[in-house]
Amino acid sequence: MLCTSVMAASLAQAPRPSDDVSLAALASESLGIGFARADDDWRDLHQEVREGRLVALPTLLDWLDERYDGQVLEVELERDDGRILYEIELVGAQGQVVEFEFDAGSGELLSIEGVGIDAMQRPAPRDTD
């Protein structure tokens, strides 16, 4: 199972693929796998994003930021039964932790788990027409 984990301070500061942060190094340290293997996995993932087979993480982080008030606590990319999933944990102002699970191929929100989810929701944007 492929699992990449990233810790971040906030949605605005969440690591993006273009940042200088070596996510492959973070993943290999946390999983105890070799740097070469993690680097190959990371390159494969970037290729899948470039080819449009996976939704880029910044797209999902932007979507969450528009709808929920919280800071990114953790991001995981997992392969589960041949399906690639993003699991994104946000921490709210009241200290609640909420996990959002997305299908990485389609960007579809599959589930939301946690307590106090409603308190984290931002007001829906108003139509200016």
Cβ atoms of residues 64 and 89 within 8 Å: no
Where in the chain are the domains?
3-120
Per-residue model confidence as pLDDT tens digits over 96-119: 999 999 999 999 999 999 999 999
| pLDDT at residue 13, as a whole number | 43
Instruction: Answer yes or no: pTM beyond 0.75.
Output: no
pLDDT tens readout for residues 5-52: 443 333 444 444 443 334 444 444 455 555 556 677 778 888 888 898
Q: Parallel, antiparallel, or unpaired: how do β-strands 109-114 and 97-103 relate?
A: antiparallel
| Closest CA relative to residue 77, chosen from 66, 67, 86 | 86
Using CA atoms, how far apart are residues 15 and 34, in angstroms rounded to an integer?
21
Domain 3-120, CATH among 3.40.50.300, 3.30.70.1450, 3.10.450.40, 3.30.420.40? 3.10.450.40
**pLDDT, tens digit (0-9, with 9 covering 90-100), for 40-83:** 777 888 888 889 889 999 999 999 999 999 999 999 989 888 89
